[in-house]
Amino acid sequence: MTLEQMKREDSIPVVIVNSLGIITYVNGAFEDAMGWESPAILGRSLTLIIPEYLRDAHNLGFSRFLTTEQPTLLEHPIQLKAVDRNGREFVAEHFIIAEKVDGEWCFGATIKELDGEERSGAGN
């Protein structure tokens, strides 16, 4: 899957950020699922949709990738918690990709909320 393909996705929430972790794109499904309208979230930090207690880990992991370019979470589905505009935490299957655009890394992710049966393991 590529960033372009993600942008064509309209049934699953998609979010794209630049190398600074700033949201540059969300699709309609994202707006529906997360309660955010595009103008309100574009240009803001991705940490808006990450529970507060995971933000440090996110920042460190994100920074490590930019420093080492060695992925650990990319291109396979992983379960992580997310938070919507109302502060509701939920477990979602993330599929994250990274691509360089004009020499800068861009990241795209699909965020598919899981119900109880679909969750595995400890429920991240």
Partner 1 sequence: MPEIEYGPLLRQLRSTLGKLEVALGAIDEAIVWTDHQGLIQWCNGAFDRLVQRPHFRNLGEPLQQLLPLEHAGAGSGGGGHPWKQAAEGGVIRGLYRFSQGESIRALEVSASRVEVDRQASIVMTMRDVTEETRTRERIRRLMRQNQLILDSAGEGVYGLDPEGRTTFVNPAAARMLGWAVEELIGQPQHQVIHHSRADGSAYPAEQCPIYAAIREGVARTVRDEVFWRKDGSCFAVEYTSTPIVEEGEIQGAVVVFRDSTERRLAEADTARRSRLLMLLQRITEAANEAESVEQVMRFALDRICAHTGWPLGHVYVTDPESSSRQLVPTRIWNTGADSRYDDFRSLTEVTEFKVGRGLPGRVTSTRQPYLLADLSQDPDFARADGARRAGLVSAFAFPVTVGSGVTAVMEFFSTARAEPDVFLLEIMGQVGRQLGEVIQRKRAETRLHQSNRDLEVFASVASHDLQEPLRKITAFGDRLEEVSGEALDDRGRLYLSRMTAAAGRMQVLIDDLLQYARVSSRGRPLERLDLDQLIRQVLSDLETRIEESGARVELEPLPRVEADPSQMGQLFQNLIANALKFRHPERTPEVRISGRMVSDSTRPWCEITVADNGIGFDQQYGERIFEVFGRLHGRTAYPGTGMGLAICRKIVERHGGTIAAHGDPGRGARFRIRLPARRDPGKEVEQ
The residues binding partner 1 (CB under 8 A) are 19-21, 51, 53-54, 56-57, 59-68, 72-73, 78, 80-81, 121-122, 124
| Smallest separation, CB 10 to partner 1 (Å) | 27
| Smallest separation, CB 71 to partner 1 (Å) | 12
Kindly tell me which of 29 and 90 has the beta carbon lying closer to partner 1: 90
User: Three-state SS for 1?
Assistant: coil
Q: How far apart, in whole angstroms, are the C-alpha atoms of residue 112 and residue 57?
A: 21
Residue 46: burial class (beta carbons within 10 Å; 0-12, 13-18, 19+) = buried
Kindly tell me which of 29 and 114 has the beta carbon lying closer to partner 1: 114
> 93 forms bridges with which residues in the sheet?
79, 112
H/E stretch holding 3 reads: helix 3-8
| Smallest separation, CB 37 to partner 1 (Å) | 23
| Smallest separation, CB 90 to partner 1 (Å) | 13
Structure tokens at 48: 């808006």
User: Three-state SS for 56?
Assistant: helix
Kindly tell me which of 29 and 78 has the beta carbon lying closer to partner 1: 78
Kindly tell me which of 35 and 61 has the beta carbon lying closer to partner 1: 61
User: Three-state SS for 22?
Assistant: strand
